[in-house]
A and B are shown apart, each in its own frame.
Chain A
């Protein structure tokens, strides 16, 4: 029997086997689609969801005599991403051909970068519940995507859609530094966030803009050398990555404990059966016969270009987090949440700049996030825009409505997207802030509850809350609580 995963959030993923404890070591090769209007080596559009084979040029379909021409924008995007990963940008890189036959690979080779990638070593910092951890980046290289083979449209034929053929991908290879499922989750999210901040990859996993090959190995706890790894190909969500790792690590421990060896091989994750299966072993591994693509000259990057891109780099999550902590008096935890997605950080800042920053933070992290989770939508799809959120918060800080009423207003806003001011007006939710009116109510309560007044005066301070409650009840919840407090205190002296 293989033991349970240890539960501490950022603890190492340790499997308690029959013959000891095993540490799970994970590395990811993330394939991120470069955000660009046209493909890596042709002018074809990269728009998602077009009719099959409508975004295919003669180059993408490998007609005789067609030649690739590098898309300079994609190069800049790769440099940008490299800089965002604090990585070394290589002034010299080479495009190679990776040769293999498949129906959705029109050229019979994929243009990729093998020995000399455009980006070298870098690192990204993960924010984990018990601190930060740096994960090494081995390299980032550019390559073309293949087309898509569709096997299930016809019982005896395979259809090929070349719309994706030639689309630019960045393959970002991590070092084997990941030690738990939580770290895998944090790594992919952070990487995605950095690229979204940079505008270099939209990170849309449903559309296949972000997928990963997962390398898993296990070793006896305390061992220095890495175990033999298996590569699980083409996993397209964090959840599936975690499921695949869980299965694969367990499989490897069981194999090793029963005296078997792990073969270095490529495996496939079967979502329906929740298991990994061997695709091809090392012996059957393709010999890709990599060699420099003679149709493309080596890429020489100008220092000036890199400097220019560096200068125009947008603020990245880590920098923004530091600034938010200072500028908006956030805790590290709050800042992490608010910078995790570019759109969230923009939303927060739009609200916090114009209205009370403390209320802004609380309302966004609290009510707004709850509503997003409940509806399973992203912040950009929320009917409560930053402008409307500002109005709501202003209504609280200016005393028009209480925080309690604001929650009711928000409930309507999130469903209808209506203006908070309008909701307050039409529903008559404005606070009663006229002292004379409030005094009348309070006098009435004091008169009707003489016994409680006596008790209060004789030291039962807790009863104060009872009086406030009564005022609220009589005012239909609209009494300005601050004012109520003041008047009550005076009258009960």
Chain B
């Protein structure tokens, strides 16, 4: 691994701007690292040639007054990228090449970045371990045969292993924060509507949100700034003035009130997590923040609510993959109905089918009121809990996940225990509020553990500031033995 790819995005941008490194040299070093991806399996598609060409073009006519000048970036394979196949980790889209570019990636390219490759993920972002991908599971660079989390598992793995200087993921129930926590990286899920959903393969529309995955909080601020824009093509996009998260970043959090919700102390949570949480409190207190005990009484309903709302929307969102217009079509079947059945049976994996079944069930007549409507009501209650809490506190501190990274296959056949992984992250998506996971320590195996900070809608600056202050004090250092290169 070259030294350059150990550096943070912020440092790299500085080097480029100071002309101490060329984009071509930078890109080559990442391409070299990507060549060792075989065991990690974090990439589905690499764009080395095209990336090198873009890097050379940049070096010929460099433009430095952008946020990401000459930076190669690999992205989760859920973002549609023009002329580069976009699979969503599914056989259904194995050979799908969009002729359009998602708003988010387009924003990155407008800031001077270019595409390095497309990163593995759970099929249609449905999973918490990156084991549901049609393109095989991804391994966590922290240890062989360990999952990187999901669904943005490829993104987290590639970032932690230095195969991309920064990346982006999507988070529907924790798909950015949980893998960040598992890989010792930073992941932020912005306020719902802050980042455009246009051009992102949809999972659950009312929950999906793209966000940055980075090595440091500064990088995260920089990336978020590059990603955010009001997008007329997304009816749920928020129209607000752009903020300079990066330049406004400060670790001065004196006087801020941090809430500790008692409901996040769940049964069977390991002592290590508890210790981590206590340490988080101490660090924020030391930084001048005030710690306040709060209650989010409906937390326990979040997971069941999520597993009604998300599959319901997914069952409808995934109806378009029917073999008629694009993507996989089974060659079996004698009529339209049989073609649909075979295409969808062969094209989707088990987890996707499971969620389509759940979603179809909860929307069915006779069950709709008992499940979907009730879930919507509970969702509102969960949101109200947060609204109440934010009357008294500036941010909320919780663990990111109830455990550290687990072994591949450990939970694959136990969906409930897999779903429980998202217990701390899911409420945030239901409430549509922003949250960040930052590395906060390690467990007994030296596997990283993350802590989650949550703020009220559009309070991303405050969220980043608190995370920045905590990051400095925690001073998390990850040492990888780079087993996958051996």
Contact of A64 among B93, B312, B315 (CB under 8 A): B93
Q: Which residues of A contact B336 (CB under 8 A)?
A: 102-103, 158
**Looking at chain A's contact residues, is the secondary structure mostly helix, strand, loop, or mixed?**
loop
Q: Which residues of B contact A67 (CB under 8 A)?
A: 197-198, 233-235
Contact with A along B193-226 (1 / 0, CB 8 A): 0000111111011100000000000000000000
Q: Which residues of B contact A66 (CB under 8 A)?
A: 198-199
Q: Cα distance A12–B434 when bound, in Å?
A: 64
Contact B236 A101, beta carbon cutoff 8 Å: no
Contact of B202 among A65, A70, A97, A103 (CB under 8 A): A65
A:372-399 near B, CB below 8 Å: none
- Most chain B C-beta atoms within 10 Å of own C-beta, residue among A64, A69, A103, A109: A64
Q: Which residues of B contact A160 (CB under 8 A)?
A: 324
Contact A62 B205, beta carbon cutoff 8 Å: no
Contact with B along A60-80 (1 / 0, CB 8 A): 011111111110000000000
Which of A257-265, A286-294, A440-448 touches B? A286-294
Which of B244-252, B363-371, B390-398 touches A? B363-371
**Interface: B360 (CB within 8 A):** yes
Are A65 and B364 also in contact (CB < 8 A) when A70-B235, A97-B316, A99-B316 are? Answer: no
**Interface: A108 (CB within 8 A):** yes
**Interface: A271 (CB within 8 A):** no
Q: Which residues of A contact B232 (CB under 8 A)?
A: 69
**Interface: A423 (CB within 8 A):** no
Q: Which residues of A contact B98 (CB under 8 A)?
A: 63-65
**Interface: B102 (CB within 8 A):** yes
Q: Which residues of B contact A68 (CB under 8 A)?
A: 235
CB distance from B457 to the nearest CB of A (A): 15
**Interface: A150 (CB within 8 A):** no
Contact A106 B206, beta carbon cutoff 8 Å: no
Contact B100 A294, beta carbon cutoff 8 Å: no
Interface size on A, residues (CB 8 A): 31
Q: Cα distance A97–B96 when bound, in Å?
A: 25
Are A289 and B102 also in contact (CB < 8 A) when A103-B324, A106-B325 are? Answer: no
**Interface: B23 (CB within 8 A):** no
Interface size on B, residues (CB 8 A): 41
Contact B364 A295, beta carbon cutoff 8 Å: no
Contact A294 B102, beta carbon cutoff 8 Å: no
Are A69 and B364 also in contact (CB < 8 A) when A103-B336, A289-B316, A294-B205 are? Answer: no
Contact of A107 among B100, B201, B320 (CB under 8 A): B320
B:361-379 near A, CB below 8 Å: 363-365, 368, 372
Contact B372 A291, beta carbon cutoff 8 Å: yes
Contact B313 A64, beta carbon cutoff 8 Å: no
B:439-454 near A, CB below 8 Å: none
Which partner residue on chain A sits nearest B364 by CB separation? A287
Q: Cα distance A62–B313 when bound, in Å?
A: 15
A:111-160 near B, CB below 8 Å: 158, 160
CB distance from A152 to the nearest CB of B (A): 16
Q: Residues of A at under 8 Å CB distance from B?
A: 58, 61-70, 97, 99, 101-103, 106-109, 158, 160, 287, 289-291, 293-297
Top 7 A-B pairs, shortest CB-CB distance: A108-B319, A294-B205, A289-B363, A294-B206, A62-B320, A65-B199, A64-B201
Q: Residues of B at under 8 Å CB distance from A?
A: 80, 86, 88, 93, 96, 98, 100, 102, 197-202, 204-206, 232-236, 312-313, 315-316, 318-320, 322, 324-326, 336, 340, 360, 363-365, 368, 372
26 sampled A-B residue pairs with Cβ under 8 A: A58-B100, A63-B326, A64-B88, A64-B202, A65-B98, A66-B198, A67-B197, A67-B233, A67-B234, A69-B232, A69-B233, A99-B315, A101-B319, A101-B322, A108-B316, A108-B318, A108-B322, A109-B316, A158-B336, A289-B315, A289-B364, A291-B372, A294-B206, A294-B236, A296-B235, A297-B235
